[in-house]
Structure 1
């Protein structure tokens, strides 16, 4: 009998396998992790494929199977569906969806899943400008006691970063503050959540988009007078697929604390279309054609020394601003005196830039095919360098930054012809003689004018004495006197010699 029973059982088992049926296993309770905003699939294990199952959330039906699937009254019913006739897929998971999910096959409970949900929120919706510090908030919800979490962040280069943790009074919410962002920080970051009990080791990916410039914060460009230069600001809104609109402005300031000149306005639509409007009419510049859509560019077709200064491009998004500057330094060379160099004469060559140079840059004059004695360097922050030359030749002025030549300008010192040297010498001699002659003439004229002035003064005094019937006291008695009468126009007349009576003279004196 015992053997017969064993045979019957074996026969039934073979029949079940032959019919493709799998015996239902006992109920299972497992922990599953979900992230708010993402879908999650809850697996019903231990039931045959293509079998109808029912799902409950905290004992409330989500989907019930009879001869077909019927909707239940759970909160996630409209966001859920049955896949493979047994697994539950919940779309757009909510933090409140955490709880106990039960899978039933017929009237038997097959699986029980405890869904632990994390929600990661980022300030400003994950859209930032450079120098802004994002704040991340990680919230958890579970049907069981909340675990103590250990959180690690990894940037877009998969390097660990250490955020600032704000005070956490409960295990429900964790707040982390990152460092100030740069445009290069745009990309996908990772938040790794770990706990011991229950055992959780889950990665949550999130995006940070930093709208900004790919240029350095302050870029320095060098140009020479009469050259052509293009100033370009490279935006990253296409690279990071920025789907928001923003505006911008380009300004030029020649000197510090001066009123900036508006060169152009631009705006980028939500579809990524860029439009530019030229503002300045007196400033000579062009907007290059055929440039990348993510670039803001201006072209100076013929640079002058006055074009130097700072060009500032500013972005404005959601009432926040960021900016990038390009400093244009212009170089020019000249000579004093200008023109060919006469034999035996000297000339001063002047190399000048429009602003003081940084400590890692300097000016240098050198003569082509010259010696070390023909090299002269500027001092630190010196914006002007002079060198005195006495012979013809080609001279170069270099602007060197970090031992690299940025720009150069040549000045050719030409020797004047021999006849020009003679003309110069003759002109110098003639000029000296003329100057000496003029000096002598001035001296003679001055002396003559002084004598005439003194004589006129004496004649005026004499006339005054005569009018007052006075005579001069003389050391010697002169009976004859020359009397000079003055005409009506003040000019001297012919002197008249008169005789003075001695008796009158003695009575008088």
Structure 2
């Protein structure tokens, strides 16, 4: 594993801890000694991690050689200093460092800087950290009857991940509800993805996508399709997941239908789940005034506005001053004949109520009269019976 070059340099290949020591070169009456210090840096899990994993670094130096006191500094993939926890050394030649929980953004080449004053050592040792994870938002908004696509982007190609893993996609309408599996997938060590549809709880499609993307489409969103869509992957018994919260919005009216002349209607804008603190619903009338604007309050899932005239209204879902969804509703006045029909129906209803009330009163009076007549007849019969008894005794 070594050779002496033409320039009298000694080259050692595949350096090992056992190669540490003092190397002496003798040339005539001259003697030159050089101390070689060898470090071996290892990282747990071969450098392959999932988010929230806690790596451990182990730095070894040759125990048969002079063991200096080392100062170790770590720099992450952004060249920022990382403060690891130095575990109790088992032996003087071994240093074990415990890092903080990893994030998907911690992917890249890290540097371990080893320093010693005596002997003077300044050595940088580079090592790779690969964190398999997702890149995607945590919330998505959709309108009823619209088409929505949910995507989870994995980073295994960017970080040159060389290990296979499996995963699945689950949907849960509410936190307390049961979880339903929609599909499962696996990715081979060569980066080939295979997906299998599992759920039939509602209609959805698995879209053809790149190996690093899990993508499903809901062609017609229903109000009860909202909930948590959780993509979970598993690697060597460890798990990581990414959840997209789907919030569905709809508009409706009470009563349903056109607005009769002189009547009132309530416009209702509603979302399927509570909104975050930086989001709200807002009704506003097109070409209206400030009086025609109404916002939802914190933790409200709907906002209502009462209207008495025709016009076009828009309901906006706003998050951080950005409109995420806008739905419009056109309030139309009912034709005149419908208004007359409604008035006639109201009058007819009132007349019917009056007639039924009169019939009830008349029936009650008749029943009362029959009862009184029967009572008088019973008294008369009793009177006649008493008189007849008295005549027989005489």
Q: TM-score range by the shorter chain?
A: over 0.9
1:440 maps to what in 2? 358
Report the CA distance shift for 1:114/1:390 in structure 2 as closer, same or farther (over 3 A): same
- The 2-side partners of 1:148 and 1:186 are apart by 30
2:200 maps to what in 1? 281
1:358 maps to what in 2? 276
2:233 maps to what in 1? 315
- The 2-side partners of 1:308 and 1:271 are apart by 35
1:266 maps to what in 2? 185
**Larger radius of gyration between Structure 1 and Structure 2:** 1
Pairwise CA distance, 1:455 = 5.4
Report the CA distance shift for 1:347/1:152 in structure 2 as closer, same or farther (over 3 A): same
Report the CA distance shift for 1:84/1:327 in structure 2 as closer, same or farther (over 3 A): farther
Matched, 1:301 2:219: yes
- The 1-side partners of 2:148 and 2:225 are apart by 11
2:20 and 2:65 in contact (8 A); partners too: no
- The 2-side partners of 1:504 and 1:196 are apart by 142
Pairwise CA distance, 1:304 = 0.6
Secondary structure, counterpart of 1:280 in structure 2: coil
2:11 maps to what in 1? 89
Pairwise CA distance, 1:434 = 1.3
2:308 to 390, 399, 415: 390
2:132 to 196, 199, 211: 211
Report the CA distance shift for 1:245/1:506 in structure 2 as closer, same or farther (over 3 A): same
1:254 maps to what in 2? 173
Pairwise CA distance, 1:164 = 1.4
Report the CA distance shift for 1:503/1:365 in structure 2 as closer, same or farther (over 3 A): closer
Matched, 1:141 2:53: no
Report the CA distance shift for 1:156/1:390 in structure 2 as closer, same or farther (over 3 A): same
TM-score (norm 2): 0.93
Query: Whose relative contact order is higher, 1 or 2, with alpha carbons under 8 Å and at least 6 apart?
Result: 2
2:63 and 2:93 in contact (8 A); partners too: no
Matched, 1:200 2:138: no
1:234 to 149, 153, 156: 153
Pairwise CA distance, 1:283 = 1.9
2:162 maps to what in 1? 243
2:323 to 385, 405, 415: 405
Report the CA distance shift for 1:426/1:189 in structure 2 as closer, same or farther (over 3 A): same
- The 2-side partners of 1:421 and 1:326 are apart by 48
Pairwise CA distance, 1:503 = 7.8
1:225 maps to what in 2? 144
| Pairs within 5 Å for 1:147-226 | 147-168=68-89, 170-216=91-137, 219-226=138-145
Secondary structure, counterpart of 2:151 in structure 1: strand
1:98 to 20, 37, 55: 20
- The 2-side partners of 1:254 and 1:130 are apart by 26
Q: Deviations over 1:354-378 (max 9, x none)?
A: 0111111111111011011111111
Report the CA distance shift for 1:502/1:391 in structure 2 as closer, same or farther (over 3 A): closer
1:98 and 1:142 in contact (8 A); partners too: no
Pairwise CA distance, 1:391 = 0.6
- The 2-side partners of 1:269 and 1:80 are apart by 40
- The 2-side partners of 1:212 and 1:456 are apart by 93
- Consecutive unaligned residues in structure 1, runs of 5 or more: 1-78, 466-470, 474-480, 482-499
Which region of structure 1 is more displaced relative to structure 2, 309-318 or 108-117? 108-117
- Consecutive unaligned residues in structure 2, runs of 5 or more: none
- The 1-side partners of 2:361 and 2:15 are apart by 109
Pairwise CA distance, 1:342 = 1.2
Report the CA distance shift for 1:148/1:423 in structure 2 as closer, same or farther (over 3 A): same
1:189 and 1:207 in contact (8 A); partners too: yes
Q: Deviations over 1:279-308 (max 9, x none)?
A: 01232100112x222011110011110110
| Pairs within 5 Å for 1:444-483 | 444-452=362-370, 472-473=382-383
- The 2-side partners of 1:450 and 1:189 are apart by 101
- The 2-side partners of 1:455 and 1:146 are apart by 126
- The 1-side partners of 2:126 and 2:225 are apart by 48
- The 1-side partners of 2:271 and 2:224 are apart by 11
1:333 and 1:350 in contact (8 A); partners too: yes
TM-score (norm 1): 0.73
Report the CA distance shift for 1:384/1:501 in structure 2 as closer, same or farther (over 3 A): closer
Pairwise CA distance, 1:347 = 0.1
2:4 and 2:10 in contact (8 A); partners too: yes
Secondary structure, counterpart of 1:472 in structure 2: helix
